[in-house]
Amino acid sequence: MLALFNRNRPLLITALIVFAVLAVTAFRYEPRVFASMILSGLTLGALYFMISSGLSLIFGLMDVLNFAHGLLFMFGAYIGYTMYDNPRMLLNTIPFVFALSGSALVVSLFANTFWSRVKISERAVVYGLSVVAVALTIYALWDFNILALAANSSTSTGGAVMTEQAQEAASPFTIRLGLLIASGAVTGLIIGRGRSLIQSRNQWLNRVIGIALVAAAFLIIPFRSAGEKFFLELPSNWRFVLALIAGAAAGAGVGAMIEWGLIRPLYARPIYQVLVTLGLVYVGTELIRGVWGSAGYYMDVPDFFNTRGKNCPSPNLIAFLQDNCASIDVLGRPFPSYRIFIIGLGVAMFVGVALLLRYTRLGMIIRAGVQDGEMVQALGINVRQVFTMVFALGAGLSALGGVAAAPFIGVNLGIGQEFLLQAFISVVIGGMGSFTGATIGALLVGLARAFGDQWVVSGIQLPWMAEAIKFSPAVARASTVLIMAVVLLLRPAGLFGKKD
């Protein structure tokens, strides 16, 4: 019994403290108010978990503090909003990505033949090819009016721009694709130098994938307007599902590129990693500002969570599945059903990642890599590929959280850093590198923020005082930092962290 207590002491102590706080709060407030506070805290905790889980996985396996994780959360929100409300922007930019990546993939498989015939300094050739690839990309995208594609509503800067005027004609668009194919081919020579990117048994598959991507880039051109109409006529529920998929996939792809191109060369230089990811925050924010503008966007809640009528709010969850009301009755007080969805999505992500880590070969490799990466490498496992996959997984989780948060908090340039700060606090409280700790930390931070907001509004009534003590709204924001400070004083490694 004593051994069980010592093994689970952090969890038991945390549970005891949380239970005490909940008991005191339940005594102070009405049941319906207390229930709303709990659900609000769980909603925020689920969003914080979506970022902190990826942070924890990346740090646990790779010892990389990714300060750009909030940027990926924000990027996912923008991509999700674009897929949901403005598909013309994706239909006019995805062909560029397909052309560049498809040609790079195909040419990289034949790069060794090119480099075997190079008789001069390979480094000089790499520098020269890099200049050519960058020049071709800049020339291909020069004067491309992406802001017009983003201006699809009256709230956009300068007003809405009709699709016919916003998107480029087929002929100049095709020329841009040709230039990007050339740029991708040059890039493929660079990244394929000295080795094949893919094992030989997969080369034929990757040739097919590369050629298919290039073909798809050209096939989309005549169907851009029809594709926009098709997507916008889909039910909002389906558009929301597509937005979740698109946001998560885009975040995972960008995360993989960040790890491969920027983090991988700096594994032996942790300070440089911090500087690079901090720089990415500023560069990425300005890129998003340049593409979508400074104005924020509002993403509508899908119809499945937005029905209003005489039968609303839904009396319970079972009734909600039939009437899809915008709110659910919780002890006599309506609570938004979409927030229940966010909680459910957080639980589903936790279960999915936990099953992945515990019961799959990739999870076994990740857990082994956290314990002893050199031994995993010695067993013949390509740890670099695992690193890229873990970084992509963490980035995809964060971007998925951004899409889920968009109808709740809106889409703007400030959401990334706001949520990243809370996610870092969650990870520090739970223990760096601990997935369970990140989960518990996110829940504690979410509940603390929700309780703090309520205490600021209503104040704290002490038995011997006639009036309640009122606090500044800054106290609610500082409550999470206070919890972190207390945890670090009592347990410097975090609740579930391990001392080196």
Number of neighbouring beta carbons within 10 Å of residue 338: 18
Helix (H) or strand (E) holding 481: helix 473-490
> What number is the average pLDDT over the span 184-203?
69
What is 259-282 written as a DSSP string?
IIIIIGGGTT-HHHHHHHHHHHHH
314 within domain boundaries: no
Q: Which residue has the higher pLDDT, 176 or 356?
A: 176
| 195-223 tens-digit pLDDT | 544 444 567 777 888 899 999 999 999 99
What is the rounded distance in angstroms from the CA atom of residue 294 to the CA atom of residue 138? 23
Domain span at 465: 12-308+324-490
Neighbours of 273 (CB within 10 A): 21
2 domain residue, yes or no: no
> Do the domain assignments include residue 226?
yes
Whether 3 is covered by a domain: the verdict is no
Cβ(52)–Cβ(426) below 8 Å: yes
Segment 148-174, tens digit of pLDDT: 888 776 555 556 778 788 888 899 999
Mean pLDDT of the residues in the chain: 82
**Total number of domains in the chain:** 1
Residue 225 lies in a domain: yes
Is 315 a domain residue? Answer: no
Does residue 459 belong to any structural domain of this protein? yes
In a domain, 313, yes or no: no
Q: Is the pLDDT of residue 424 over 60?
A: yes
Query: 3-state DSSP call for residue 74?
Result: helix
